[in-house]
């Protein structure tokens, strides 16, 4: 389980896809944005310096031109004022004199000329205040006036310093537009954005390629597994998630293979159970014999764990009736087949031979030859002659003896002649050890034989029913009719088991002299 968890969790040192993608994008974008920041700072510094230099140059140029005009206007104003003053002086001090009248006319002409020149200069000023846009006052002395430059009416600003004394007034013209600098900075920003997008896209393609290659390989592996090759293992190796997916697919394939094998095994087991059930049904007695003066009956209880144990009634050509119970060493289909083989040999020999010992000898030789080493069949056979009431008993290694209920005393005696199991030895030992026993039945006497099933029956606490308890039940109910006797035994056994599954089949055969 721990190994499976480790396989599913992947390598502890493997980097997850999310971590790799995040780290790659972070490093790439960090590099790009660092370079972009440096480039942007350098470009902004250059643009700022350029804007500042251009603004200063333009301000100096415009202010110089304006100052030149202002100086010329002041000179003309001074000259006009001087001429006006001289003209007034002459008119006052020398009235009526021709020469001075001529001088006055010349002075007036010069004064008018200066006035005209001043008007022309005022008309040729390089700027005009923009109508409808108010000036912005920064404080009591400085304010900004929106203006238009020349005939093109380019936007600009005039910074005016004024203290109320005309001699200290000062005007500074500054350019208003920085479109070229803005365009240059915008171009740098766009280039940086495009570079960042390009690097991000490239990193995404690289990471996606790294992720897609193992996933495509896994898809190929899955298609290969889907063809039925569940032993195929994935070849893909990559990030943590890919490794986990690959290991999960390998585990899934292994589980499917195990499930397929289990399904096949279950199918075989189901067929085996069906076959065993059919064979076991064939092992049941065909009919219960009936003879005047005797009751014959059988009880069979099937276990879930199928085996080859069986019981049978055998009628001989001489009118005798045989009661047979057998335990088979194997379980499942092998045990059932051995049981079926043993039953066929026993029925053939016990009905075809008068000599009981020779019949069992022949069955043992045939069975020892046919079954594999280690398998055997224990048997208890009771041959009853209804005419003479004499019973002969043969025991081939059977664990539970014959129980003889004696009606006259109400006691039970055990009869178990010596013998080893059928098929255990090929002949000499079996034949030397086999003994027969004989007894005679009186009215009311009962014979009962069992397989080992009733004795090994367990209750819910795991305790076996046991042979002694079995003997006690036979003694308690032996005087009843055979059908009632078996009903009582069944009720006792079922009550003891209390729902616990049977370990072995239960076979009980009984005969009572009426």
DSSP assignments along 160-207, one per residue: EE--S-GGG-EEEEEE---HHHHHHHHHHHHHHHHHHHHHHHHHHHHH
Residue count of the chain, please give it.
Answer: 514
Q: Are 115 and 81 a contacting pair, CB within 8 Å?
A: no
Q: What is the CA radius of gyration of the chain?
A: 64
Tell me the C-alpha to C-alpha distance, in Å, between residue 52 and each of 143, 174, 239.
20, 11, 54
pLDDT tens sequence for the chain (514 residues): 445 444 444 444 455 556 666 777 777 778 777 877 777 777 766 766 666 656 665 665 666 666 667 677 777 777 777 777 777 777 777 666 666 677 777 777 877 777 776 666 666 666 778 888 888 887 877 888 888 877 677 778 888 877 766 655 777 777 755 555 556 666 777 877 777 777 777 776 776 666 667 777 777 777 777 777 777 777 666 666 667 767 777 787 777 777 777 777 767 666 766 666 666 666 677 788 988 999 999 999 988 777 789 999 999 988 999 999 999 988 877 888 888 889 999 999 999 888 999 999 999 999 999 888 888 999 999 999 999 999 999 999 999 999 999 999 999 999 999 999 999 888 899 999 999 999 999 999 999 999 999 999 999 999 999 999 999 999 999 999 999 999 999 999 999 999 888 888 999 999 999 9
Structure tokens at 264: 């096949």
Interstrand relation of 402-406 and 321-328 (parallel, antiparallel or unpaired):
unpaired
Distance spanning both ends of the chain, measured CA to CA: 67
By CB neighbour count within 10 A (0-12 exposed, 13-18 middle, 19+ buried), where does 178 fall?
middle
Q: Which residue has the tokens 């991000």?
A: 200
> Helices in 94-139 by DSSP H: which ranges?
98-123
Q: What is the pTM of this model?
A: 0.53
Residue 506's φ and ψ, nearest 5 degrees, are: -115, 125
**Rounded CA gap, 402 and 448, in Å?**
6
**Rounded CA gap, 314 and 50, in Å?**
126
Residue 310's φ and ψ, nearest 5 degrees, are: -150, 165
Nearest to 195 by CA among 25, 29, 26: 29
Distance of CA 225 to the CA centre of its chain: 18
Tell me the C-alpha to C-alpha distance, in Å, between residue 265 and each of 273, 278, 334.
12, 20, 16
DSSP assignments along 306-329, one per residue: -B--EEEEEE-TTS-EEEEEEEES
114-125 b/e with 16+ CB inside 10 Å = b?
Answer: beebbeeeeeee
Tell me the C-alpha to C-alpha distance, in Å, between residue 510 and each of 300, 313, 382, 484.
12, 10, 10, 11
**Cβ of 80: how many Cβ atoms within 10 Å?**
18
Q: What is the DSSP letter of 227?
A: T
């Amino acid at each position: 389980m721990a190994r499976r968890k480790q396989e599913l969790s992947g390598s502890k040192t493997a980097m997850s896809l999310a971590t790799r993608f995040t780290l790659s994008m972070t490093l790439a974008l960090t590099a790009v944005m660092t370079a972009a920041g440096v480039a942007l700072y350098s470009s902004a510094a250059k643009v700022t310096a350029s804007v500042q230099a251009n603004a200063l140059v333009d301000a100096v140029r415009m202010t110089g031109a304006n100052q030149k005009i202002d100086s010329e206007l002041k000179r003309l104003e001074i000259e006009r004022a001087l001429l006006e003053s001289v003209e007034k002086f002459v008119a006052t001090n020398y009235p009526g004199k021709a020469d001075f009248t001529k001088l006055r006319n010349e002075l007036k002409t010069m004064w008018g000329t200066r006035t005209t020149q001043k008007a022309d200069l005022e008309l040729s000023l390089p700027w005009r205040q923009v109508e409808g846009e108010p000036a912005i006052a920064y404080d009591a002395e400085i304010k900004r006036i929106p203006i238009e430059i020349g005939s093109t009416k380019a936007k600009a600003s005039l910074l005016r310093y004024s203290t109320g004394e005309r001699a200290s007034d000062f005007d500074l013209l500054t350019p208003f537009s920085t479109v070229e600098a803005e365009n240059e900075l915008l171009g740098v920003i766009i280039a940086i954005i495009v570079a960042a997008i390009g690097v991000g896209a490239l990193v995404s393609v690289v990471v996606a390629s790294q992720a897609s290659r193992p996933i495509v390989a896994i898809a190929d592996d899955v298609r290969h597994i889907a063809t039925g090759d569940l032993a195929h293992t994935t070849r893909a190796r990559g990030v943590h998630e890919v490794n986990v997916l690959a290991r999960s697919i390998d585990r899934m394939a292994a589980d499917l293979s195990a499930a397929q094998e289990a399904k096949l095994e279950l199918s075989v087991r189901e067929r085996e159970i069906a076959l065993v059930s059919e064979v076991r049904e064939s092992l049941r007695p065909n009919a219960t014999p009936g003879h005047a003066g005797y009751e014959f009956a059988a009880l069979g209880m099937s276990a879930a764990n199928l085996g080859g144990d069986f019981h049978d009634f055998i009628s001989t050509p001489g009118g005798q009736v045989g009661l047979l119970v057998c335990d088979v060493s194997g379980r499942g289909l092998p045990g059932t087949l051995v049981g079926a083989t043993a039953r066929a040999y026993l029925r053939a020999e016990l009905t075809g031979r008068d000599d009981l010992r020779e019949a069992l000898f022949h069955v043992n030789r045939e069975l020892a030859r046919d079954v594999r080493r280690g398998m055997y069949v224990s048997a208890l056979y009771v041959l009853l002659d209804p005419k003479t009431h004499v019973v002969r008993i043969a025991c081939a290694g059977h664990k539970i003896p014959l129980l003889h209920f004696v009606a006259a005393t109400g006691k039970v005696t055990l009869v178990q002649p010596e013998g080893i199991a059928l098929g255990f030895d090929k002949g000499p030992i079996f034949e030397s050890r086999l003994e027969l026993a004989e007894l005679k039945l009186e009215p009311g006497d009962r014979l009962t034989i069992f397989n080992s099933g009733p004795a090994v029956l367990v209750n819910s606490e795991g305790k076996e029913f046991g042979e002694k308890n079995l003997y006690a039940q036979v003694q308690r109910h032996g005087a009843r009719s055979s059908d009632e006797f078996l009903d009582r035994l069944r009720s006792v056994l079922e009550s003891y088991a209390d729902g616990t599954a049977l370990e072995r089949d239960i076979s009980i055969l009984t005969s009572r002299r009426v």
